[in-house]
């Protein structure tokens, strides 16, 4: 009986590992392509993303126009490629804002505890009670309709997520033996916080930051779709979907092209985030 059950188990484990590695490899490829588009979009297309030939409007996908053309004859693939930079930079700014503010709140609440933890804990709970995208809409409407304000809005909506994780990690780390040793040899609170607690807390935050980066791309694109981002003729991914929705039934590639790129980017970042969390 031992031999019967041992054989299938040893055969299945390499297959699962190979499948996981395949998904991770594809995710890395997608992230590399998106990064290259953001850094040097001109290397991937010679089409103008802002102007086109009116006579070439509503062209179906072809070798000349891989994603087809829009109602103004603009090459959609060029607009998707050039729209990568604002999407990535805005999402990066949003994650940076959420990570910085969440780190301050989470570290202070977890390390100092008691009254400080009680007050900041209630602030975190209040932020978590508000849907993140609704909070982002409220903030961007208050600040104005630009990509920077959209990044600030999305970043504020993610503060509570980072703060909750960092607080829990801080509570776990500060009770470790090496932290007590640091106090015993005369280390001050700020020294222990920044030299011992902070480095150990951030080992688990990287995976969350990658996942939040993908979510930030979706939220920033959703704000652009609603008109809360850069105005036309900006090639923002969300704005491309908004412009193409009126032509969706006759010319579906208007929506499919930027939509597939967004979905692939988010899935790839999610896979990398899971891999980082698994390897931690």
DSSP letter for 48, please: -
| Residue 199 neighbours by CB under 8 Å, 6+ apart | none
Over range 6-35, report the average pLDDT: 68
Task: Quote the tokens at residue 74.
Answer: 């603009």
Got the DSSP string for 185-208?
Answer: TT--HHHHIIIIIHHHHTTTHHHH
pLDDT (tens digit, 9 = 90+) per residue, 69-96? 998 889 999 999 999 999 999 999 999 9
pLDDT (tens digit, 9 = 90+) per residue, 237-266? 999 999 888 888 888 888 998 999 999 999
Residue 147 has a CB neighbour count (10 Å cut-off) of 21
Is residue 1 scored above 60 in pLDDT? no
Query: How many angstroms separate the CA atoms of 210 and 276, rounded?
Result: 9
Query: How many angstroms separate the CA atoms of 121 and 270, rounded?
Result: 28
Query: How many angstroms separate the CA atoms of 274 and 261, rounded?
Result: 20
Architecture of domain 1-45+75-280: Orthogonal Bundle (1.10)
Is residue 186 scored above 80 in pLDDT? no
What are the residues facing 75 on neighbouring strands? 69
Confidence (pTM): 0.84
Res. 172 pLDDT band, cuts 50 70 90: confident
Most confident of 31-40, 52-61, 116-125, 195-204: 31-40
| Residue 214 neighbours by CB under 8 Å, 6+ apart | 265, 266, 267, 268, 269, 270, 273
pLDDT (0 to 100) of residue 229: 80
Place of tokens 């997520």: 161
């Amino acid at each position: 009986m031992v031999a019967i059950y041992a054989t299938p188990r040893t055969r299945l484990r390499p297959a699962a590992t190979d499948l996981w590695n395949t998904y991770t490899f594809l995710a890395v490829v997608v992230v590399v392509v998106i990064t290259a588009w953001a850094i040097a979009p001109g290397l991937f297309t010679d089409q103008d993303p802002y102007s086109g030939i009116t006579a070439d409007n509503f062209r179906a996908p072809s070798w000349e126009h891989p994603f087809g053309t829009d109602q103004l004859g603009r090459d959609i693939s060029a607009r998707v490629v050039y729209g990568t930079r604002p999407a990535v930079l805005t999402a990066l700014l949003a994650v940076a804002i959420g990570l910085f503010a969440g780190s301050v709140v989470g570290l202070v609440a977890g390390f100092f505890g008691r009254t400080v933890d009680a007050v900041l804990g209630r602030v975190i709970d209040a932020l978590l009670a508000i849907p993140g995208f609704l909070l982002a809409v409220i903030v961007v409407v208050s600040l104005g309709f630009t990509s920077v304000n959209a990044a600030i809005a999305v970043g504020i909506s993610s503060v509570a997520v980072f703060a909750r994780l960092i607080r829990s990690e801080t509570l776990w780390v500060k009770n470790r033996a090496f932290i007590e040793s640091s106090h015993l040899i005369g280390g001050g609170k700020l020294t222990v916080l920044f030299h011992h607690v902070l480095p150990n807390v951030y080992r688990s935050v990287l995976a969350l930051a990658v996942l939040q980066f993908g979510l930030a791309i979706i939220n920033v694109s959703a704000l652009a779709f609603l008109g809360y981002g850069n105005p036309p003729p900006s090639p923002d991914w969300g704005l491309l979907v908004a412009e193409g929705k009126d032509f969706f039934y006759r010319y579906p590639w208007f929506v499919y092209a930027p939509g597939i790129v967004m979905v692939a980017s988010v899935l790839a970042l999610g896979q990398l985030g899971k891999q980082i969390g698994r390897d931690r």
